[in-house]
């Protein structure tokens, strides 16, 4: 790979990632062909219900676990093939980690500044004092510099933990429920600290969370369902015709290389889609209909489309009604393999 190619490569790239756990003869597919691409310097939240595979993904990306199959490359390191020595280097220099439990991130008998210096000492880094000062400034914890964790609030401890994780200048910062033990106001402080780290230090940040409010503080939220990325929400700020700033959130379904995508649960529920659905390829979108005999829709009733709602095409008739517009009709199965 040339230098230019390496610079253009995403910092996190997973394709068809599979992790199967076998316990007492029972297999659990925690990741079932997950695809994820995170560009350098991005700040992304991964959200999903309990058991959807978030922690499994994070444990693989942190180099603590190895996937069963697929591809996973982080900042140029292939996680499926890396050896033991490379793994130590990877965990020390390529990725930083912040855990949910504030107590797990910091040594209780050291001050904030001493905690931040620990990874620098272990890595034999030079100019340690200057790096500690820089991180204390970026995370806004100057007033906690000489305090031990028990003398800090949960939010201050997490901001110090972020500084510790960033000490050796990792390319990627992984945070597992970093606001899980915090109240709303303190959560916002921690999320803003992660955003500052991303913007001022150029680090790529991946936050795994249950907390729906986290999505409001990141540009991109990826939803995991049943071990696969299912939908993504992208947020941006626009200026409307009156000159006012408006926040726009657009939801997309994620499609893998084989063309598989998960319809959002509310789309499936709204039309009672189950087992098999009818598909129709239109010139600019794909229509999806229940398999059951469909009553003729009124003008106000639009069928579900597998394209993003924000750019949803005009309503079209169910299969069989306007044959001239259609070049392909199929029946597909919903459920596990849809």
Ligand X SMILES: Nc1ncnc2c1ncn2[C@@H]1O[C@H](COP(=O)(O)OP(=O)(O)OP(=O)(O)O)[C@@H](O)[C@H]1O
User: Which distant-in-sequence residues (6+ apart) come within 8 Å of 43 by Cβ?
Assistant: 194, 195, 198, 204, 205, 207, 218, 219, 220
Region from 23-31, 178-186, 249-257, 318-326 binding ligand X, contact rule CB under 6 A: 23-31
Question: Least distance in Å: CB of 177 to ligand X?
Answer: 8
In angstroms, rounded to a whole number, what is the distance separating the alpha carbons of residues 20 and 309? Answer: 34
Sheet containing 286-290: which strands, arranged edge to edge? 286-290, 276-281, 328-333
CB of 212 to ligand X, least distance (A): 13
**Contacting ligand X (CB under 6 A), which of 14, 44, 47, 48?**
48
**109 binds ligand X per the rule CB under 6 A:** no
Per DSSP, the three-state class of 256 is coil
Under the binding rule (CB under 6 A), the answer on residue 52 touching ligand X is yes
Q: Under the criterion CB under 6 A, does residue 23 sit at the interface with ligand X?
A: yes
Spatial separation of the C-alpha atoms in residues 78 and 84, rounded to whole Å: 13
Q: Is residue 275 within 8 Å of residue 263, measured between CB atoms?
A: no
Of 54-83, binders to ligand X (CB under 6 A) are 54-56
Could you tell me which stretch among 52-60, 66-74, 81-89, 190-198 binds ligand X (CB under 6 A)? Answer: 52-60
In the complex, the smallest distance separating the C-beta of residue 58 from ligand X, rounded to whole angstroms, is 8
Q: How many residues does the chain have?
A: 338
Nearer to ligand X, 111 or 221 (CB): 221
Q: What span, in angstroms and rounded, lies between the C-alpha atoms of 52 and 35? A: 14
Residue 209 lies near ligand X (rule: CB under 6 A): no
Q: Quick check: helix, strand or coil at residue 51? A: coil
Region from 49-57, 79-87, 118-126, 292-300 binding ligand X, contact rule CB under 6 A: 49-57
Q: What is the DSSP letter of 91?
A: I
Q: How far is the CB of 53 from ligand X (least distance, A)?
A: 4
Instruction: Point out which residues bind ligand X (CB under 6 A).
Output: 21, 23, 28, 30, 48, 50-56, 210
């Amino acid at each position: 790979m040339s230098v230019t190619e390496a610079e253009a490569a995403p910092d996190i790239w997973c394709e068809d990632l599979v992790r199967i756990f076998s316990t007492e003869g029972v297999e659990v597919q925690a990741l079932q062909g997950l695809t994820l691409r995170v560009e350098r310097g991005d700040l992304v939240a991964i959200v999903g219900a309990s058991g959807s595979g978030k922690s499994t993904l994070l444990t693989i990306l942190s180099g603590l676990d190895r996937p069963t199959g697929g591809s996973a490359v982080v900042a140029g390191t292939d996680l499926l093939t890396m050896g033991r020595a490379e793994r130590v280097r990877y965990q020390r220099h390529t990725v930083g980690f912040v855990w949910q439990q504030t107590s797990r991130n910091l040594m209780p008998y050291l001050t904030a500044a001493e905690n931040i210096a620990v990874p620098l000492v272990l890595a034999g880094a030079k100019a340690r004092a200057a790096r500690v000062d820089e991180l204390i400034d970026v995370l806004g914890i100057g007033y906690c510099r000489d305090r031990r964790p028990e003398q800090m609030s949960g939010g201050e401890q997490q901001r110090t933990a972020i500084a510790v994780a960033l000490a050796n200048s990792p390319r990627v910062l992984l945070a597992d429920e970093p606001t899980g033990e915090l109240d709303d106001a303190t959560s916002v402080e921690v999320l803003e600290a992660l955003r500052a780290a991303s913007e001022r230090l150029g680090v790529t940040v991946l936050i795994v969370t249950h907390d729906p409010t986290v999505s409001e503080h990141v540009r991109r939220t990826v939803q995991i369902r049943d071990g696969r990325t299912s939908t993504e929400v992208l947020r941006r700020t626009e200026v409307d015709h009156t000159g006012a700033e408006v926040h726009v959130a657009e939801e997309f379904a994620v499609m893998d290389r084989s063309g598989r995508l998960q319809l959002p649960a509310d789309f499936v529920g709204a039309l009672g889609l189950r087992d098999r659905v009818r598909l129709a390829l239109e010139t600019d979108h794909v229509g999806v209909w229940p398999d059951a005999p469909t009553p003729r829709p009124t003008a106000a009733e639009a069928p579900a489309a597998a394209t993003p709602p924000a750019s949803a095409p005009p309503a079209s008739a169910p299969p069989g009604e306007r044959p001239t517009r259609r070049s392909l009709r199929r029946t597909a199965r919903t459920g596990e393999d849809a």
